[in-house]
Amino acid sequence: MLKAYLVPHPPLLVEGIGNSDALESRSALGEIASEIERDNPDTLIIISPHSIMYDDYIHIAPGKSASGDFANFGAGHIKFNVDYDDELVAEVAKIAEFEEFPAGTLGEKKPALDHGVMVPLAFLGTKRKIVRVSLSGLSVIDHYFLGMIITKAAAELNRKIAVIASGDMSHKLKADGPYGLVPEGSEFDEFMQKCVKNTDFIKLCSVSNELREKAAECGYMSLVILAGALDGMNVKSRLLCYEAPFGVGYLTAAFEADGETESLLPLLAEARLKEIETRRENESIYVRLARANVESFVTDGKQFPLELFKGQNSLSEEMLTKRAGVFVSLKIDGNLRGCIGTISPVTENIAQEILRNSVSAAAEDPRFPPVRAHELDSITYSVDVLGAPEAIESADELDVVKYGVIVTCGHKRGLLLPNLDGVDTIEKQVSIALQKAGINKNEPYSLERFEVIRHI
């Protein structure tokens, strides 16, 4: 039998930090602590969204032990020291390597325990060894598969484990809360509660990236790993508590798995394949050209010949006769994977501009490693064709949905596209553009705005 738990992690739940006696989440965590004490697992697998994160690799904390405190929350006297189950960590890394799966102990940058781990430990205690697992920019299926690897590793070592998925739901549930209010916040939280109540992991893994981003959650992928750890077993769930007293959703649940059933992984993979097929059937010719070019470059090291593409597809007159700046953006599961473009055209037409910038987005964006072959099916593309920039006198003439912005100070120039997730104010739009250009906000700079046509 395998037990697993979804727990919130606001530090205010911890005695000595917040006045949280009235919060139902505190008693729900106490109930979990009593259950774990009774079951007496050897090791706690704690999944935290606040450990080190990589776009293409899931980090598992290495070493023999770790420590941490709540100094960042005004309570440095509350300290934790834990021992890691290094043998189990090594087994997880071994299986991941055998499966050619990107997870392991490389890239440790934050050895201190984070609050996503310490809040649960404040209730569960530190006498048991733990395995500290982070999240990544990899796909939902990848995180689910990691859960499967963890359970397999525990079985290989005959290790009795309990899985703790640490994370909060939407952070945007109150207009006067710290992050504001959006309708997607309650929509996401209600959906998650239904998935938990019904132990519906298929629906869980189908949540759209757009909904997750707008809801501003941090617990979703932790729960996906938990679901993967329970794969192939009969699962019963108990929703212990849901509340949102401060504009952030706190969901606490318990899962109990026993007996065997069919793995959900093939169904998830099939759903993923259908999603890819549907997306490609509906993609614009601009995106089709960008995708064909990236796939050709990543697999063969060569740009896709435009004449060959023209022979297979009907290109618009605009693509072959008009010159314009073009930005090509790549995303995986809603996370940016590369974005490169030109403010003004540097090639003979839009089609050539797409070819040039799609390769640059895949291989030359300094924020990311080059795209690899196994990522190609997961990438979604957008192609922004820029209109001519026009000078404006002040930021009051901007609109974050309609206009992109260009900031210039001497030879330094930065651009930000319009209608980007998370960029909801003019101040933020200009601030990011200044940061990209390396321009201090106190330096004199000029503003230009431009419109784009976004092709998806």
Looking at residue 97, its amino acid is E
Regarding the domain delimited by 2-269, which CATH topology (the fold level of the hierarchy) does it fall under?
A: Protocatechuate 4,5-dioxygenase; Chain B (3.40.830)
CB 165 within 8 A of CB 4: yes
Long-range contacts from 238-242, C-beta under 8 angstroms, 24+ separation? 239/193, 239/196, 239/197, 240/28, 240/31, 240/32, 241/24, 241/25, 241/27, 241/28, 242/189, 242/193
Q: Give the per-residue pLDDT at 137.
A: 86
pLDDT of residue 26: 93
Q: Domain 283-371, what architecture?
A: 2-Layer Sandwich (3.30)
CA dihedral (242, 246, 249, 255) positive or negative: negative
Per-residue pLDDT at 20: 61
In sequence order, the 6+-apart residues with CB closer than 8 A to the CB of 394 are: 447
> pTM value?
0.81
The stretches in the chain having pLDDT less than 70 are 19-22
CATH 3.30.700.20 segments of the chain: 283-371
274: Cβ contacts below 8 Å, ≥ 6 apart: none
Burial status of residue 80 (CB atoms within 10 A of its CB: 0-12, 13-18, 19 or more): middle
Distances (CA, A) of 306 to 16, 296, 303, 327: 65, 12, 9, 18
Task: Give residue 262's Cα distance to chain centre.
Answer: 28
Written as one letter, the residue type at 182 is V
Name, in order, each residue with C-beta under 8 angstroms of 231's C-beta and a sequence gap of 6 or more: 144, 147, 148, 151, 201, 263, 264, 265
User: In the block, which residue shows the tokens 């097929």?
Assistant: 277
Q: What 3-state class would DSSP assign to 30?
A: helix
- Structure confidence at residue 59 (pLDDT): 97
User: Alpha helices, DSSP H only, in 157-300?
Assistant: 183-197, 201-204, 209-215, 220-229, 265-282, 285-300
Please list, in sequence order, all residues whose beta carbon lies within 8 angstroms of the beta carbon of residue 266, skipping any fewer than 6 positions away. Answer: none
Q: Which residues, in sequence order, are CB contacts of 17 under 8 Å at separation 6+?
A: 11, 70, 73, 74, 75, 78
d(C-alpha 260, C-alpha 117), whole Å: 30
pLDDT value at position 403? 96
pLDDT tens digits for range 74-121: 999 999 999 999 999 999 999 999 999 999 999 998 899 999 999 999
Residue burial 257-293, b: 16+ Cβ < 10 Å; e: rest:
beeeeeebeeebeebbeeeeeeeeeebebbbbbbbbb
- Rounded-to-integer distance, Cα 211 and Cα 239, Å: 22
Domain(s) of CATH 3.40.830.10: residues in the chain: 2-269
Beta carbons of 359 and 297 less than 8 angstroms apart: yes
Q: Where in the chain is the domain with CATH 3.30.1490.150?
A: 387-456
Overall CATH class of domain 387-456: alpha beta
Answer whether 379's CB lies under 8 Å from 334's CB: no
